[in-house]
Structure 1
Amino acid sequence: MTSIDASKLKLPLQMLLMGSATKLVAPKTKTVFIEDLPPEEVAKHAPEPAGLVNLGNTCYLNSVVQCMRSIPQLRSGLRAYVPPPRSANSLAAGTASSSPLLLSSLRDLFESLDRTTNAVPPSNFVMATKIAFPQFAQTGPRGQPMQQDAEEFYSNLLTVAGGEMRGNCLTAGLTGGQSAASAPTPEELDGAENLADALFGMKMEETLTCDEFSSAETAAAASSDAMDIDNNTALVEPPVTSYDLHRKLVCNIQGGSDASAQVNVNHLSEGIALSLSGKITKHSEILNRDAVWTRTQRIARLPPVIVVQFGRFYWKATPDSQDHAGVKCKVMKPVAFNGTFDVYEFCNEKNSKGLEEVERCSSSGGRRPYRQKAQGRR
């Protein structure tokens, strides 16, 4: 504000005062600025999660940890995890399991990430990983840590979680630490006995059908190759159905779009459909010899979390090489995917009917995809 020369003012003066005639009341709640909050409170309101420091080609580990951190059920189960007591004999002999150390360090790492917005060095978890899985401790000619595969680490980590996180961990993870009365029933778990299978496990229905005959007529024509078969009886090789538990779907890119590729995969759904079917050689009871069968897999149980692996590596034969029979090649091509992953076409008949029922009950006007695709590294 500039100074006023009173000698130039003429009377009378008109002055306008702005304010309130009443006494100002202090706010009931003190205004708190984010700069005044402790680090753990700032981390809760941060738009982006805290990062992880790369400790030397540990990007494979960091990416899996960040994906796992976004799953609340897994975090609830880890909070309830209590390492089993180790006997004095196992400690003395050095045979104590490294699994409790791995899961405990993962839980502690999650808690460290919750308390800050700065990048956190996962030193203890990397050390526990190398103790549990020595293959991740490999070094190059100059002693530098070697690059590792994120999918291999993910599979090994879930194997440990599947062996350790049972009982209370399973209940706490699926109920969010609330009352056990809200825990899923055995029918809903459908054979999942640990938290890893309950969260990630897909019960896959595999059907094998013999390609060499698919009708009674062709079966009778082929029966001359079989032993002790009544040609007057209509014979059809019955399909063979089995069930297995998988913790991921695979998007099979099949070697890219070059001339040697079997299939040109451009979209996620195409790659998954490719990995869920194929040809195998199997003994035929009707023909009494090996025959070609078609393998078809469908999802019989949908888990809360679906993990998709992009199979970016394939084996390329090198017949002209004197050093090796083939090399492992990486597919350098983009594969598109939608923001929402619709698994309807990959489900078996029972699950498909369930999703159709959801569609009929939905007011959105279209089929509601089962689950949104989680963000993560490909």
Structure 2
Amino acid sequence: MRLLKLQRKVRCLLRIYQKKSKWLHCAGLYNLGNTCYMNSTLQCLHSVPELKSALLSYSDTVKGNGIDQASHNLTLATRNTFGDLDQSVRPVTPLQFLQTLRKKYPQFAQQHNNVYMQQDAEECWTQLVYTLSQTLTSDSSESAVLPMKQLFGIDLVSRVHCAESGEESMETELVYSLKCHISQDVNHLHEGIKHGLKTELEKASPTLGRTAVYTRESRINELPRYLTVQFVRFFWKRESNQKAKILRKVDYPLELDVYEFCSDELKKKLKAPRQMLRDAENAKLGLYMGKLAAQKKMRSHQVALGNRLVWTLTKLSLLYQRNN
């Protein structure tokens, strides 16, 4: 009986705390059959408060500006699923979202032997972010809400050149994630990102009058509030005509510094803030080292006093033995 009352009290406290904490995230998502890719995407995006604010301000009737019905419905399903996650302390069944996602993007409804196939979380994330970037605009939500570009968009500036013809051009591109390409030479995240920012492509050369190999070297020209990095673990196997997964271990830091991947223009903008951050960290480190030095000095005094006390007691003991 006491246990039952305690459980009720805990549930009541959780509900109260959840109402007070607007962005509390404690509920999970049921796997509806190989839907881990979708669940991980939803949980990842659900952790972004600004995105939840944008979805809350999204109207049920917004369908203008060239937004198709399927995109509108998927945005509403995302908003409703996030609401269920915020309001529940028990696992949520994202059936409405799954059905809406499959209507918008039929590739996620592929089946094999009447069983829904596993899908790539990155593909789901990319499609959902692209859809939200089309629907969550300043016209369809409050002006104070940050658009998807500011939250996740990465502006890249690329130098495309052909060694054979000497042609060179500059291109700009908006992407929503950096790629960490994995190969036998990649052991760390920085190496994978570096490989991902330098690629080769084939296209028609006006100078040569035929197809030629071009090298694209990209640099980050503008950073978003949330930087997404994809570990490219899948590649297309021509022999079996299907995807294969790369199982190589790649280390990554707890804090990712992408300064070396930025353009010269962005590096100039980041120079002063980086110096301020470095000075603050050095100040904290100096204060910490000062505390360590003080503690060490105190311990040395304690040891010295202890040694002196032992020496004094030993001397008194010897004098006592002589007198007796």
TM-score normalised by length of structure 2: 0.74
Counting aligned pairs with the same residue, the percent is 35
For 2:177 and 2:207, the matched residues in 1 are separated by 35
Read off the aligned partner of 1:78 and give its amino acid letter: L
Aligned to 1:364: 280
Q: Does 1:81 align with 2:58?
A: yes
How much has 1:341 moved relative to structure 2?
1.1
How does 1:1-378 map onto structure 2 within 5 Å? 34=10, 36-37=12-13, 39=15, 41-42=17-18, 49-84=26-61, 97-141=69-113, 143-167=114-138, 168-169=140-141, 171-174=143-146, 195-212=147-164, 237=166, 239-254=168-183, 257=184, 264-283=185-204, 290-318=211-239, 326-362=241-277, 363-364=279-280
Q: Which structure has the larger Rg?
A: 1
Provide the rounded CA distance (Å) in 1 between the counterparts of 2:104 and 2:237.
32
RMSD: 2.8
Aligned with 1:173: secondary structure? coil
Structure 1: gaps of 5 or more residues: 1-32, 88-95, 175-194, 214-236, 258-263, 319-323, 367-378
Q: Alpha carbons of 1:329 and 1:117: their partners in 2 closer, same or farther (altered >3 Å)?
A: same
- Is the contact made by 1:34 and 1:42 (CA closer than 8 Å) also made in structure 2? no
Code of the residue aligned with 2:182 in structure 1: it is I
Give the total of aligned pairs.
Answer: 269
Residue 278 of structure 1: how far off its partner (Å):
2.4
Post-superposition offset of 1:198: 2.4
Rounded Cα–Cα distance in structure 1 between residues aligned with 2:37 and 2:20: 26
Q: CA deviation at 1:238?
A: 5.8
Q: What is the TM-score of this pair, normalised by structure 1?
A: 0.64
Structure with the higher fraction of residues in helix conformation: 2
Displacement of 1:123 after TM fit? 1.6
For the residue of structure 2 that corresponds to 1:340, the secondary structure is: coil
Gaps in structure 2 of 5+ consecutive residues:
1-8, 283-324
Q: Amino acid of the residue matched to residue 364 of structure 1?
A: A
Distance change in 2, residues 1:47/1:154 (3 Å):
closer
Q: Distance in 2 between matches of 1:150 and 1:297?
A: 25
Hey, what's the Cα distance between the residues in 2 that align with 1:295 and 1:85? Answer: 39
The residue type equivalent to 1:147 in the other structure is: Q
Three-state SS of the structure 2 residue aligned to 1:51 is coil
